[in-house]
Amino acid sequence: ETGVTQTPRHLVMGMTNKKSLKCEQHLGHNAMYWYKQSAKKPLELMFVYNFKEQTENNSVPSRFSPECPNSSHLFLHLHTLQPEDSALYLCASSQAVRRGGPETQYFGPGTRLLVL
């Protein structure tokens, strides 16, 4: 596998279910991100993990719970979601640099989530 992979690619869940999204990056990067893309809206940053530590939580409801066990894996645990949480969830990774410079983020294919 190369690049950034995400599983599952599609997920349908009820509001009382608990599920997890998985992301794995094979690029040797040290920063990972979760984004949400809803219809006709820009990508919204949800969480940032830098060297396995969460450095950003963009006011995301607690029904979304991220986990980063190591620099290659990132999970998004979902519980008691609402229909308005239906969206495309994208994972990305980058090589964080300590001094300036561009940090290109590389994206996975996304998980399309439908909450019924």
Partner 1 sequence: DQQVKQNSPSLSVQEGRISILNCDYTNSMFDYFLWYKKYPAEGPTFLISISSIKDKNEDGRFTVFLNKSAKHLSLHIVPSQPGDSAVYFCAASARTGTASKLTFGTGTRLQVTL
Residues 57-96 that bind partner 1 (CB under 8 A): 90, 92, 94, 96
Q: How many residues bind partner 1 (CB under 8 A)?
A: 29
Residues near 32 by beta carbon (within 8 Å), at least 6 away in sequence: 23, 25, 48, 49, 68, 71, 74, 91, 92, 93
Q: How far is the CB of 4 from partner 1 (least distance, A)?
A: 7
4 binds partner 1 (CB under 8 A): yes
Q: Is 12 helix (H, G, I), strand (E, B) or coil?
A: strand
Nearer to partner 1, 7 or 14 (CB): 7
Taking CB under 8 A as the criterion, which residues in 26-55 touch partner 1? 31, 40-43, 45, 48, 50-51, 55
Is residue 22 within 8 Å of residue 32, measured between CB atoms? no
106 Cβ contact list (under 8 Å, min separation 6): 3, 4, 25, 27, 29, 92, 93, 94
Does residue 15 interact with partner 1 by CB under 8 A? no
> Which residues contact partner 1 by CB under 8 A?
4, 6, 31, 40-43, 45, 48, 50-51, 55-56, 90, 92, 94, 96-98, 100, 102-110
